[in-house]
Amino acid sequence: MINYACLKQYIMILEKHISTSITDSNGVITYVSPAFCSLTGYKKEELIGRKHTLLRHPDMSDSIYQKLWETIAQGNPWQGRIKNCTKDKISYWIDIYIEPIFQNRVIIGYQAIEQNITKETFFEALAKLDNLTGLSNRLAIEEFVQFFMHEVHKYQKIFSIIMVDVDDFKQVNDMYGHQTGDEVLKKISEILQSLIRSNDRIGRWGGEEFLIVLPQTSHVQAKELAERLRVGVASYKFKTIGHKTASFGVAEIEKKDTIKSLIERADKALYISKKIGKNIVT
């Protein structure tokens, strides 16, 4: 015999500790658990009748949500990681599982279970950072290239990359020491990061080299940005060494490209810049 009092208490405990939500077929929220409210900082009344876009973080790509909706609208479950914002605009990461709700074989809504993975994501992010500059490390920036290559093949989008190399950097280490060299690299990384766009990605490729990924950008547009970066580096006066320049190589994705071939073309362009005089964009 079912003890309904115990069952009700059990459900209340689950709702208190497990973040769940239900929407109608248009994505409008019809139910949220107390745990969902605690996670997002919103009251139940502030969420019912709204869409989950209320929580969307500006860093998230449109393509992720496009793939999500394509999947669940076809009657299939979707699972993945999403970055959201609380009511107080504090970012957090969730691992979310979404499943369609059927009635007479027709989708009438969607139910989702979420797990807060902010701490785990934070430590994963630390593992993908370059210790010196704080930029993405080589592994992380390669992942961005791989992601945008997927976008190219699936959605026929374009992107370009810029390879950057600090000119005659060995002389800095030889003449002023590695500590000064490290300070120069950190400052150059700050200059580059301050001049790229918000949706661009930059990482330290190794040594004195940097790689910048530019989504939805042609090689002509990428060259214009690279020129601004070149001027930005060349015009800055460092405390100890004075002025320092960098050379740039630009390449746009082609249908036949792999990660290796794309980066090789950018590297070849960079080599030409070095060979014909440095402080040049090719």
Is the pLDDT at 1 greater than 60? The verdict is no
User: What is the C-alpha to C-alpha distance for residues 73 and 85, in angstroms, rounded to an integer?
Assistant: 25
Q: What is the pLDDT of residues 259-279, one digit of tens each?
A: 999 999 999 999 999 999 999
Q: What is the pLDDT of residue 251?
A: 97
Check pLDDT > 80 for residue 122: no
Tokens of 227: 């020129």
DSSP the chain: ---HHHHHHHHHHHHHHSEEEEEETTSBEEEE-HHHHHHH---HHHHTTSBGGGGB-TTS-HHHHHHHHHHHHTT--EEEEEEEE-TT--EEEEEEEEEEEEETTEEEEEEEEEEE-HHHHHHHHHHTB-TTT-SB-HHHHHHHHHHHHHHHHHH---EEEEEEEETTHHHHHHHH-HHHHHHHHHHHHHHHHHHS-TT-EEEEEETTEEEEEEET--HHHHHHHHHHHHHHHHT-EETTTEE--EEEEEEE--TT--HHHHHHHHHHHHHHHHHTTSS-B-
pTM (predicted TM-score)? 0.64
Over the range 74-100, which residues count as b (16 or more CB within 10 Å of their CB) and which as e? eeeebeeebbbbeeeeeebbbebebeb
Find the range with the poorest average confidence among 14-23, 63-72, 155-164, 234-243: 14-23
Average pLDDT, the chain: 91
Is 2 or 144 the better-scoring residue by pLDDT? Answer: 144
Give the up-direction half-sphere exposure of residue 147: CA atoms within 13 A in the CB hemisphere: 16
Residue with the larger pLDDT of the pair 156 and 175: 175
Specify the pLDDT at position 146.
Answer: 87
Taking alpha carbons only, the member of 78, 81, 87 closest to residue 37 is 87
Q: What is the Cα–Cα distance from 178 to 191, expressed in whole angstroms?
A: 20
What is the rounded CA–CA span in Å between residue 20 and residue 111? 7
Name which of 140-144, 166-170, 222-226, 276-280 the model is least confident about.
140-144
Count CB atoms within 10 A of the CB of residue 46: 15
Q: Kindly state the tokens that stand for 225.
A: 């940005």
Q: What is the pLDDT at residue 166?
A: 97
Segment 88-97 mean pLDDT: 91
What's the average model confidence in pLDDT over 227-233?
A: 97
- pLDDT at residue 6, rounded to an integer: 66
Enzyme catalytic residues: 208
Confidence of residue 151 (pLDDT cuts 50, 70, 90): confident
Domains along the sequence of the chain with CATH = 4-118 (3.30.450.20), 128-275 (3.30.70.270)
185 pLDDT band, cuts 50/70/90, is very high
Q: Do 36 and 20 touch, CB atoms closer than 8 A? A: yes
> Where does the pLDDT of residue 123 fall: very low under 50, low under 70, confident under 90, or very high at 90 and above?
confident
> pLDDT at residue 5 above 70?
no
Confidence label for 246 from pLDDT (cuts 50, 70 and 90): very high
Amino acid at position 87, single letter: K
What digits encode the pLDDT tens for the residues 13-40?
777 778 999 999 999 999 999 999 999 9
Q: Which of 121 and 31 is assigned the larger pLDDT?
A: 31
Place of tokens 């766009």: 197
